[in-house]
Amino acid sequence: MAEEQPPIYIIKKIVKVSGHHGGAWKVAYADFVTAMMAFFMVLWLLSSSEKVQKAVGGYFSDPEGSGKMVGSTQSGAGGESMSIAANDMDKLKDKLEQAMRESPQFQKVKEQVKMIVTGEGLRVELLESDVGTFFESGSPAPTEKATVLLGTLAQEIGKLPNKVFIEGHSDARPFTGDYGNWELSSDRANTARRVMQMYGVRPNQVAQVRGFSDQSLRVPDNPADPSNRRISIIIKYLDALPAKAKKADEKKDGGGHAEPKAGEKKDEHPKAEPAKAASGH
């Protein structure tokens, strides 16, 4: 009898492929990145100025309301660069001069543009020359140079909260006919206002437009000097006259009223001064 063969067993290994591990690690990584971003924002805020901190805090307190205006004198952060100099006329003067130097037209007429800090604020004057420069002869029509320079000034002044006065001045040469120096100085000042409002000065920012004719000459000894024909743009101080400017004005006026010396009795009822004649400006 033949020997029985042992059964042959075939063993098949079933390899199970593991499924997807899931996205839990992605969530953890996103949380980590968010935390790092928040950490760096906190560091940035701690090193920022108080104005920036108030602006950011105001936005998160009231994103849709007035909180956006916190920290700057203009809506949003766009006005902050110029609001720093809004009541510091020396810095504002440097800022405007820098902006105007970037204009190619300024290089041709830089001797006719003067800036000076006065008791009123920053006075910017565009002076005429023998050949005109800023306006057509005997006309309020502006030249291309005037439009470019007034537009450059308007773009910077429009970022400020300060009020603006615009003055027109003429020389003492008489006109023939009904149109005279009063009309010319007033019309040129009004033309400057229109140009500046086209380029960025807000309508409610212009507080006064004044024509002086030849009553406030820049060169009194030479009433016919062409620099007497000019446009003056005065950027007013935001608040009361700063102490530095106030002292300068007091010196100019003789220092104001003197205080009584020791032992002297102060006059409690000073005599009334006679009324001054009204100015014809």
Residue 66 contacts by C-beta under 8 Å, 6 or more apart in sequence?
58
Rounded to two decimals, what is the model's pTM?
A: 0.58
Separation of alpha carbons 104 and 209, rounded Å: 28
Rounded to the nearest 10 degrees, what angle do helices 24-47 and 50-61 cross at? Answer: 130
Return the pLDDT at 270. 43
pLDDT single digits (tens) 40-88: 888 888 887 776 777 777 666 655 544 444 444 444 434 444 444 557 8
DSSP assigned state of 132: B
Helix (H/G/I), strand (E/B), else coil: 218: coil
Return the pLDDT at 79. 44
Domain ranges of the chain: 25-71, 84-243
pLDDT band, very low/low/confident/very high, at 191 (cuts 50, 70, 90)? very high
Q: Count of residues for the chain? A: 281
| Per-residue tokens: 244 | 């530095």
| Per-residue tokens: 33 | 């990145």
| Long-range Cβ contacts of 87-95 (<8 Å, 24+ apart) | 87/162, 87/237, 87/238, 87/239, 87/242, 89/117, 89/121, 89/122, 89/235, 89/237, 90/117, 92/122, 92/160, 92/235, 93/117, 93/122, 95/156
Of 174, 183, 197, 203, the residue nearest 140 (C-alpha): 183
Helix/strand/coil percentages in the chain, nearest 5: 40, 10, 45
| Per-residue tokens: 208 | 């006064």
- The architecture of the domain spanning 84-243 is 2-Layer Sandwich (3.30)
Helix (H/G/I), strand (E/B), else coil: 26: helix
Separation of alpha carbons 208 and 193, rounded Å: 10
pLDDT at 108 over 60: yes
| 263 φ, ψ (degrees, to nearest 5) | 90, -15
pLDDT band, very low/low/confident/very high, at 20 (cuts 50, 70, 90)? low
Return the pLDDT at 70. 41
